[in-house]
Amino acid sequence: MTINGDKSLEERILKLKKERNAIILTHNYQRGEVQDIADFVGDSLELSRKASETTADVIVFCGVHFMAETAAIFNPDRIVLLPDMAAGCPMADMITAEQLRQKKKELPKATVVTYINSTAEVKAESDFCCTSANGVQIVESLNNEEVLFVPDQYLGHYISTKTGKKMTLWPGYCPTHAGIQPEDIIRRKQEYSRARVVVHPECRPEVIALADEVASTSGMIRYAGREDVSEIIVGTESGIIHRLQKENPGKKFIPVSEQAICPDMKLITLEKVLRSLETITPQVKVPEAIRIRAKAAVDRMLAIV
């Protein structure tokens, strides 16, 4: 579309993307218009896989810093752009590499399983990474009974109940998901009595207890596509509703609460994506010594699922 002789933002992004031989990878929580210009939209596991397979010269990552860092871990010779460097993940910043080293000294026999929502430095101190989509399988596959799980206590608690393994949990949490309360679900259930309740495993155990299904963001997309599902109360960041509605136009998706918004995910805009492609900044880089050790933990995950 052309407005006053100016190419639309979308057109300029797509043209520049071609010229730069770039790929746009976008998380399910991104603004609708940012999802719509992506080459691929997915959850953290799918995005990590895409990042490990790409042959593009430039990766524009529309998500938060740890996701772009994971792309950089796999692509030391490619340019990885995060259109706004301020887009972080507060949970990822709830543990430092030094804190993890101290904890490992207290639990020298434990296998360290680290949620992908973590810094590269923390991944470098870990045995395995996991995502919300594969955490249960990763922990189930371990022979060691002693597991230290960082940084999300709620995902760790969920994995521990599903696997029956006793795990030491770091007390981190996602402010957006921890903000969802059981009362929010109960209220929505009263309003929409036939709707299924689907929640992300970063939610509190009291919220998970009220759910029909617990799933990663892409797990939710698959669940919504089922023929027997027509109405869903969505217990995660509300940006996902754009994709749910687009792929299931006849179905109804109800945000669990108006507050379920991750401000960091919303920092990426079309204007910033364009500027990033024009200037080839800001770039995310991981120091080589950290990258090699962090990659080992992510590779161990990808070898299992």
CB neighbour class for 199 (10 Å; exposed up to 12, middle 13-18, buried from 19)? buried
CB of 262 to ligand SF4, least distance (A): 3
Query: 264 touches which of ligand 13P, ligand SF4, none (CB within 5 to 8 A by kind)?
Result: ligand SF4
Q: How far is it, in rounded angstroms, from Cα 113 to Cα 177? A: 21
Which residue among 68, 197, 232, 262 contacts ligand SF4 (CB under 6 A)?
262
- Residues 172-201 vs ligand 13P: string with x where CB under 6 A? --x-------------------------x-
- Report whether 125 contacts 100 (CB < 8 A): yes
- Report whether 111 contacts 149 (CB < 8 A): no
Rg (CA), the chain: 19
Q: How far is it, in rounded angstroms, from Cα 105 to Cα 84? A: 36
Residue 208 as a binder of ligand SF4 (CB under 6 A): the answer is no
CB of 2 to ligand 13P, least distance (A): 35
CA 142 to chain centre: 23
Which residue among 174, 180, 198, 301 contacts ligand SF4 (CB under 6 A)?
174
- Residue 238: which residues within 8 A CB-CB, separation 6 or more? 255, 258, 260, 261
Which residue among 22, 23, 51, 64 contacts ligand SF4 (CB under 6 A)?
64
Residue 217 as a binder of ligand 13P (CB under 6 A): the answer is yes
CB of 274 to ligand 13P, least distance (A): 25
Identity of the residue, 131 or 276, whose beta carbon is nearer to ligand 13P in the bound complex: 131
Phi first, then psi: give them for residue 287, nearest 5 degrees: -55, 140
The tokens of 124 are what?
A: 């470098």
DSSP state of 8: P
* Span between the terminal Cα atoms of the chain, in Å: 42
CB of 16 to ligand SF4, least distance (A): 27
Which residue among 48, 54, 111, 131 contacts ligand 13P (CB under 6 A)?
131
Residue 203 as a binder of ligand SF4 (CB under 6 A): the answer is no
Chain residues that interact with ligand SF4, rule: CB under 6 A: 64, 89-91, 117, 174-177, 202, 237, 262, 264-265
Chain residues that interact with ligand 13P, rule: CB under 6 A: 28, 43-44, 117, 131-132, 174, 200, 202, 216-217
